[in-house]
C-alpha cells in the first residue's frame, strides 16, 4: 500500500487533535470537553458494550479460522491477469462436501478429499465480466480464473491429494488429455480438446492448489501458460505462509486483531456466535484485500492510502482499521463524494459528527440504506432496508467503538 506517513511528532499531534474533533470521540461515562456524550445517542435496542468473543467458541471455528488465515495467502486472479476485473465469489470451504461442490474441484472428489484428511480450503474466482447465473459460463467467451487452496495434515497428504484429485477428475471423460504446465513438471493438468477450460492441481508443502481456468477460445497452449502464470504468483505467497499445526487449529484466536468485539452485533448482548466467513469473522493483514473496493478509483485510493490492516464483518456491519483517524475519516468522505448514480444521500444519525448515509436502489429490489461512521482509526459501514434502524445501528456502532477503548 502507498506510504504517506508524516513525521512522528506531527503524527502524534494530529492524532490527538483528530480524536477530539472528529468521529464519535467519546466514552460511556461522562463526556469531556471536545467529545460527544454517547449516552445521548439514539441507539434503539442495539448493544453498545464490547462482546466477549472467546466465550462463543464453537467446535467448527478452528478450520474456518485457519481458512481465514489462508485468505491472506491466496493469489488474487487479477494480480496475474488484469483483465479479470469482476469478482465471481470468495469463501472459506470448511468441509470436504462444500469443497467438492466448488467449481474448481470435480464433484466426484468428495471421497478423495475425505480420504486424505482435508482440513479446510479457501476459494476465489474472478472473471473479465460480471457473473451471470442465468447463462452457463462455458457457453460464453468469458475469461475466468478460479483458485482453491486446500489444506491437508502434511506434505505427503497434500501431494497424494493433488495427484488423486486430478486422476479422479481425469477419469470422468475418455476424451480428457494430460497437459504439461511450463516450468511445473510436478503439476497435474488436463483438458478436453475443443473445450476452452483446463483443470490443474499442484502440491506445495501442506497445501494443494487446485485451479480451474476458462479461456475465450479452446487454446490449450494459452491455457497451460495461464496456469503457469498463476502458480508463479501463488507459490511465493505459500512460501510466506505458515500453516497452523493440526493439533493447534482448535485453539486459534477467534478475534486475533481485537476487532470483532468492536463490531456491532445485531440482537441481544452476550450472544454466542460461531465464526462464519460470510457472517461473523475477522480478516487480517493481506486478507483484508478481499474487502478492498475496486471502484470508483478514488475510493480504492482512499483505502490504499489509509493502509487498512484489519477488517471485521458482523452480519450487517463491516469494520475497518485504518492507519490513523484522518485516514478513517477520509475514506468515509470519499465514499460519500463518489456515490453512484443509483444512490443518494439521506439523513444521518443525530449527534454523530462526520457520519454519512446513503440510500441505493438496484432494480426491483428494496432500497438499501448504508451509513458510515468513524472513531479514531476505525471506520464502519452498517446497512439495512429500514433507514431509522440503520441510523440507530450507526449511532450504536459509534458508541461501541468509543466504549471498546
pLDDT of residue 285: 96
- Given pLDDT bands bounded at 50, 70 and 90, which one contains residue 103? low
Please determine, for residue 85, whether its predicted confidence score (pLDDT) is greater than 70: yes
**Cell 448493544 sits on residue:** 47
pLDDT at residue 39, rounded to an integer: 87
Give mean pLDDT, residues 197-226: 97
Determine the pLDDT at residue 3.
35
Region of poorest pLDDT, from 19-28, 71-80, 93-102:
19-28
Quote the pLDDT of residue 38: 84
pTM: 0.89
Residue 31: which pLDDT band, with cuts at 50, 70 and 90? very low
Task: Check residue 23 and give its pLDDT.
Answer: 57
Mean pLDDT for the stretch of residues 193-222: 97
User: Mean pLDDT, the chain, as a whole number?
Assistant: 90
Say which residue the cell 471506520 belongs to. Answer: 379
Over the stretch 129-164, which tens digit does the pLDDT of each residue have?
999 989 999 999 999 999 999 999 999 999 999 999
Per-residue pLDDT of 273-331, as tens digits, reads 999 999 999 999 999 999 999 999 999 999 999 999 999 999 999 999 999 999 999 99
152-161, 195-204, 263-272, 343-352: least confident range: 263-272
29: pLDDT strictly greater than 60: no
Q: Please say if the pLDDT value at position 217 is more than 90.
A: yes
Q: What is the pLDDT of residue 64?
A: 98
The pLDDT, as a whole number, for residue 20 is 31
Query: Can you give the pLDDT at residue 33?
Result: 38
Arithmetic mean of pLDDT, 256-271: 91
Per-residue pLDDT reduced to its tens digit, 384-401: 999 999 999 999 999 999
**3-state secondary structure labels for all residues of the chain:** CCCCCCCHHHHHHHHHHHHHHCCCCCCCCCCCCCCCCHHHCCCCCCCCCCCCHHHHCCCCHHHHHHHHHHCCCCCCHHHHCCCCCEEEEEEEECCHHHHHCCCCCCCCCHHHHHHCCCCEEEEEEEECCCCCCCCCHHHCCCCEEEEEEEECCCHHHHHHHHHHHHHHHHCCCCCCEECCCCCCCCCEEEECCCCCEEEEEEEECCEEEEEEEECCCCCHHHHHHHHHHHHHHHHHHHHCCCCCCHHHHHHCCCCCCCCHHHCCCCCCCCCCCCCECCCEEEEEHHHHHHHCCCCCHHHHHHHHHHCCCEEEEECCEEEEECCCHHHHHHHHHHHHHCCCCCEEECCCCCCCCCCEEEEECCCCCCCEEEEEEEECCEEEEEEECCHHHHHHHHHHHHHHHHHCC
Q: Give me the pLDDT at residue 248, please.
A: 97
Reported as a single tens digit per residue, the pLDDT across 44-69 is 999 999 999 998 899 999 999 999 99
pLDDT confidence bin for 12, thresholds 50/70/90:
very low
pLDDT interval class at 271 (50, 70, 90):
confident
Amino acid at each position: 500500500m502507498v506510504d504517506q506517513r508524516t513525521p512522528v511528532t506531527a503524527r502524534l499531534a494530529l492524532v490527538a487533535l483528530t480524536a477530539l474533533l472528529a468521529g464519535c470521540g467519546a466514552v460511556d461515562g461522562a463526556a469531556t470537553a471536545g467529545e460527544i456524550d454517547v449516552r445521548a445517542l439514539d441507539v434503539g435496542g442495539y448493544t453498545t458494550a464490547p462482546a466477549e468473543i472467546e466465550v462463543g467458541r464453537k467446535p467448527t471455528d478452528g478450520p474456518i479460522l485457519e481458512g481465514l488465515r489462508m485468505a491472506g495467502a491466496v493469489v488474487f486472479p487479477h494480480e496475474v491477469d488484469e483483465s479479470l476485473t469482476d469478482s465471481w465469489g470468495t469463501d472459506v470451504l470448511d468441509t470436504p462436501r462444500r469443497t467438492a461442490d466448488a467449481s474448481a474441484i470435480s464433484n466426484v472428489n468428495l471421497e478423495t478429499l475425505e480420504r486424505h484428511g482435508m482440513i479446510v480450503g479457501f476459494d476465489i474466482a474472478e472473471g473479465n465480466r460480471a457473473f451471470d447465473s442465468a447463462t452457463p459460463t462455458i457457453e460464453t467467451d468469458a475469461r475466468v480464473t478460479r483458485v482453491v487452496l486446500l489444506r491437508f495434515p502434511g506434505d505427503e497428504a497434500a501431494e497424494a491429494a493433488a495427484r488423486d484429485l486430478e486422476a479422479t477428475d481425469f477419469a470422468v471423460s475418455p476424451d480428457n488429455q494430460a497437459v504439461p504446465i511450463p516450468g511445473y513438471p510436478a503439476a497435474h493438468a488436463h483438458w478436453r480438446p475443443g473445450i476452452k477450460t483446463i483443470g490443474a492441481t499442484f502440491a506445495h508443502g501442506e497445501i494443494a492448489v487446485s485451479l480451474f481456468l476458462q479461456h475465450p477460445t479452446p487454446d490449450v497452449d494459452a491455457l497451460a501458460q495461464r496456469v503457469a502464470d498463476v502458480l508463479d504468483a501463488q507459490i511465493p505467497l505459500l512460501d510466506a505462509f505458515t500453516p497452523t499445526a493440526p493439533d493447534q487449529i482448535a485453539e486459534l484466536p477467534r478475534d486475533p486483531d481485537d476487532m470483532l468485539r468492536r463490531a456491532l452485533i445485531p440482537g441481544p448482548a452476550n450472544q454466542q456466535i460461531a465464526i462464519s466467513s460470510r457472517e461473523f469473522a475477522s480478516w487480517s493483514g493481506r486478507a483484508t484485500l478481499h474487502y478492498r473496493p475496486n471502484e470508483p478509483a478514488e475510493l480504492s485510493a482512499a483505502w490504499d492510502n489509509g493502509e487498512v490492516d484489519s477488517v471485521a464483518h458482523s452480519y450487517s456491519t463491516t469494520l475497518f482499521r485504518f492507519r490513523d483517524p484522518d485516514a478513517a475519516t477520509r475514506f468515509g468522505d470519499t465514499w460519500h463524494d463518489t456515490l453512484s448514480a443509483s444512490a443518494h444521500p439521506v439523513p444521518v444519525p443525530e449527534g454523530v459528527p462526520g457520519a454519512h448515509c446513503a440510500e441505493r436502489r438496484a432494480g426491483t429490489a428494496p432500497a438499501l440504506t448504508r451509513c458510515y461512521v468513524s472513531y479514531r482509526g476505525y471506520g464502519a459501514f452498517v446497512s439495512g432496508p429500514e433507514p431509522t434502524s440503520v441510523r440507530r445501528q450507526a449511532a450504536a456502532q459509534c458508541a461501541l467503538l468509543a466504549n471498546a477503548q
